[in-house]
Structure 1
Amino acid sequence: MSEISRGLENVFIKATSLTYIDGEEGILRYRGYNIEDLVSNCDYEEIIYLMLYGELPTQSQLKKVKEKINESYELPPQVIKILEELPHEADAIAMMETGFSALASYYDYSWKKEENKERALEIIAKSNSIVANVYRIKEGLRPKVPEPSDSYAKSFLTAAFSREPSEKEVKAMNAALILYTDHEVPASTTAALVTSSTLSDMYSCIVAALAALKGPLHGGAAEAAFKQFMEIKDPSNVDKWFNENIIQGNKRLMGFGHRVYKTYDPRARIFKKYAEEIAKTDDARRYLEIAKKLEEKGIEHFGGKRIYPNTDFYSGIVFYSLGFPVYMFTSLFALSRVLGWLAHIIEYVEEQHRLIRPRALYVGPIKRDFIPLENRQ
């Protein structure tokens, strides 16, 4: 009898040179480079080049990437209008899906090997515009196209908030973009790969990925982790909340545990450092103290089971400290992950393409005799 791997756990669907994960040791590398080194030393645009072209860029190569992105922020006016006409209370990821789906109507991004990476750069730029304007529209602000700058992160924050971000804010946003860039083939990347295997256009692949990311078991974890900090309200309430909700099994500790990592998620350590650097308001500091105390309780209770904080545990505090409301956290994840999705689908289509068509194991009746309607009891 054929064996079913529930959730496709430990099923390898492609070979990749993009991301290496050692879940036992807590190691994450992009193209062989440790995530800690990349976050400490690189602009996000360097990671864009690395993921698409395979190497860290030279100064001239980086300049060309930045120029291409800076000239590609503009969105068709009709796409902005479509976003404006959506209900302002709509889910931010649902609005992103609509924006990317609309862009598929304006650009013919069928697969052409000599153009795929250039088109990916255009999509990454337009992602910046879509996410910034999803935020602005939901906040009742007029749409604003990101302006060219020396930093993708800076252009995004400036467009979203209509103000010059501080150097610390730009560094924190840049770090978040790098940390969420890719993580092998989770549900959203798999959805993008399945779509790309049909040779559908790149924008439609992003829509498929967003639809998968929207689910609370995938992209919504940072929002859920932060909401539990809000529910706790004060560090003095952590012990009581933990005993009543986690020990007694009434709730799941959000931001803890990972399908791959059996130790501390390396991204969580970095997010924690940036949360400590950027959390300046009383509320942000309070949430950070709640998170730290909750982390201690969580490790004390779950560490023996090899369950530790994942990347979503502290990322929400970074996003909140930047000025974003909770409803934007998953969209900020998506803004970064667009690069990972594009890198994976380009790698798959250009190097390993085959239509993804799995099978289902039939467990129903083998054969039945047909009974006319008038004879059925």
Structure 2
Amino acid sequence: MIQISRGLENVIIKETSLTYIDGEKGVLRYRGYNIEDLAENCEYEEVVHLMLFGELPNAKQLQEVKEKINQSYEVPLEVLEAMQKLPRDADPISLMETAFSIMSIWGKRINRLTALDIIAKASTIVSNVYRIKEGLKTKIPEPSESYAKSFLEATFFKKPSADEVKAMNTALILYTDHEVPASTTAALVSASTLTDIYSCITSALSALKGPLHGGAAEEAFKQFVEIGSPDNVEKWFEENIIKSKKRLMGFGHRVYKTYDPRAKIFKKMAYSLAKEESKKYLQIAEKLEELGVRYFSQKKIYPNTDFYSGIVFYSLGFPIYMFTSLFALSRILGWLAHVIEYLENQPAIIWPRALYVGPEKRDFIPLSQRG
């Protein structure tokens, strides 16, 4: 009997040396390194080198990565002009899709150097998503000692604090990769046809835009806003989660059956960054987490990375609508690394089949004879 895997769950589509996940134990590693060690000790550019070239860089290699990125922030004028012509209330990921679709005109076959170029240009695109939606002039990030710093300076046009740069740097690392979820799979499907890399990223962005994938951080944070006060958490949980059976956003994961290791790091960062308004949301999140764990832990449902990440992004000054774009800014590295890995290992075009369950052969009836 033919077995159908709904959502391709547990279907293996490639071998990878990029990311290892143990969902039962809550382990996440990039090329063998625990995510906790990388997040605590590395600059984002070190992880860029690790994912693209296979090893953590030495000082010379790290400087080469930084120089290549610093030289590559410029994007074609047509890209920013097209983004500016879209309605200001356009979905931020749609703005990103537009930008990468236009760059496919100059489409490139992917290699590690073009990957560094794209990572730089992604910073320019995402910072200007914010600036365009806020009615500000577009700006190209300026070279600096840090990708995270250049991005924050271009976005907000002010000098970020060391803590803010550290938080942005860590967030970029945490969202870099997570094996082959929907967006990465979409990129791989496109890559398997040997299309250009910008089109692969556009495919990934289209999948990421859905609220069941990249939009979870926004939806989790909206819960905190809706609750409004730590005093309202228990009543809200009773009415919405227990009685109405709504989904508790930021809880549960297809792979993790315990606490998502990235969520622990985001929670710690949320504490270190919290300001007056975000402290309130952090208190709400903590009380909601306590109830959620008490109610769902027997089903092995725990907080995932999106539960606390929105509080970190909000504390950095980003509005809710930017959260998914920040996810994308980080995950572009993972998409690029997976595409490179796939294409270098004798790729086959990804072409699944469907089980036909429609009518048997029927005789054709001319239009004039149909009642």
Q: TM-score range by the shorter chain?
A: over 0.9
- 1:265 counterpart residue number: 260
C-alpha deviation, 1:376, in angstroms: 1.6
Q: 2:107 matched to 1:108? A: yes
The amino acid that maps onto 1:163 is K
Aligned mates of 1:375, 1:92 — CA distance in 2? 51
Aligned mates of 1:101, 1:28 — CA distance in 2? 32
Aligned mates of 1:358, 1:250 — CA distance in 2? 35
Which secondary structure state, in structure 2, belongs to the residue aligned with residue 100 of structure 1?
Answer: helix
Given that residues 14 and 352 in structure 1 are in contact (C-alpha distance below 8 angstroms), is that contact kept between their aligned partners in structure 2?
Answer: no
Q: Quick check: 269-278 or 361-370, which moved more?
A: 361-370
Which secondary structure state, in structure 1, belongs to the residue aligned with residue 20 of structure 2?
Answer: strand
Q: Quick check: 311-320 or 348-357, which moved more?
A: 348-357
Q: 2:285 matched to 1:299? A: no
C-alpha deviation, 1:304, in angstroms: 1.1
Aligned mates of 1:250, 1:12 — CA distance in 2? 32
- 2:44 counterpart residue number: 44
- 1:89 counterpart residue number: 89
- 1:144 counterpart residue number: 139
C-alpha deviation, 1:373, in angstroms: 1.4
Aligned mates of 1:354, 1:250 — CA distance in 2? 42
- 2:312 counterpart residue number: 318
Query: What does 1:231-310 correspond to in 2, within 5 Å?
Result: 231-280=226-275, 282-310=276-304
Q: 2:19 matched to 1:25? A: no
Aligned mates of 2:367, 2:225 — CA distance in 1? 58
Given that residues 268 and 309 in structure 1 are in contact (C-alpha distance below 8 angstroms), is that contact kept between their aligned partners in structure 2?
Answer: yes
Which secondary structure state, in structure 1, belongs to the residue aligned with residue 116 of structure 2?
Answer: helix
C-alpha deviation, 1:252, in angstroms: 1.1
Q: Structure 1-normalised TM-score?
A: 0.97
Which secondary structure state, in structure 2, belongs to the residue aligned with residue 109 of structure 1?
Answer: coil
Which secondary structure state, in structure 1, belongs to the residue aligned with residue 132 of structure 2?
Answer: helix
Query: What does 1:134-213 correspond to in 2, within 5 Å?
Result: 134-213=129-208
The amino acid that maps onto 1:141 is L
Which secondary structure state, in structure 1, belongs to the residue aligned with residue 344 of structure 2?
Answer: helix
- 1:330 counterpart residue number: 324
Given that residues 144 and 159 in structure 1 are in contact (C-alpha distance below 8 angstroms), is that contact kept between their aligned partners in structure 2?
Answer: yes
Given that residues 265 and 310 in structure 1 are in contact (C-alpha distance below 8 angstroms), is that contact kept between their aligned partners in structure 2?
Answer: yes
Which secondary structure state, in structure 2, belongs to the residue aligned with residue 218 of structure 1?
Answer: coil
Give the superposed CA RMSD.
Answer: 0.7
Which secondary structure state, in structure 2, belongs to the residue aligned with residue 21 of structure 1?
Answer: strand
C-alpha deviation, 1:110, in angstroms: 2.4
Unmatched 5+ stretches in structure 2: none
Q: Structure 2-normalised TM-score?
A: 0.99
C-alpha deviation, 1:249, in angstroms: 2.8
Q: Which of residues 342, 347, 353 is equivalent to 1:359?
A: 353
The amino acid that maps onto 1:199 is L
Aligned mates of 1:187, 1:250 — CA distance in 2? 25
The amino acid that maps onto 2:64 is K
C-alpha deviation, 1:350, in angstroms: 1.0
Q: Which 4+ runs in 1 deviate beyond 4 A?
A: none
Given that residues 93 and 214 in structure 1 are in contact (C-alpha distance below 8 angstroms), is that contact kept between their aligned partners in structure 2?
Answer: yes
Indicate the percent of aligned positions where both proteins have the same amino acid. 70
Given that residues 107 and 198 in structure 2 are in contact (C-alpha distance below 8 angstroms), is that contact kept between their aligned partners in structure 1?
Answer: no
The amino acid that maps onto 2:357 is V
Given that residues 97 and 210 in structure 1 are in contact (C-alpha distance below 8 angstroms), is that contact kept between their aligned partners in structure 2?
Answer: yes
Aligned mates of 1:74, 1:25 — CA distance in 2? 43
The amino acid that maps onto 1:312 is D
The amino acid that maps onto 2:87 is P
C-alpha deviation, 1:352, in angstroms: 3.5
C-alpha deviation, 1:250, in angstroms: 4.1
The amino acid that maps onto 2:370 is R
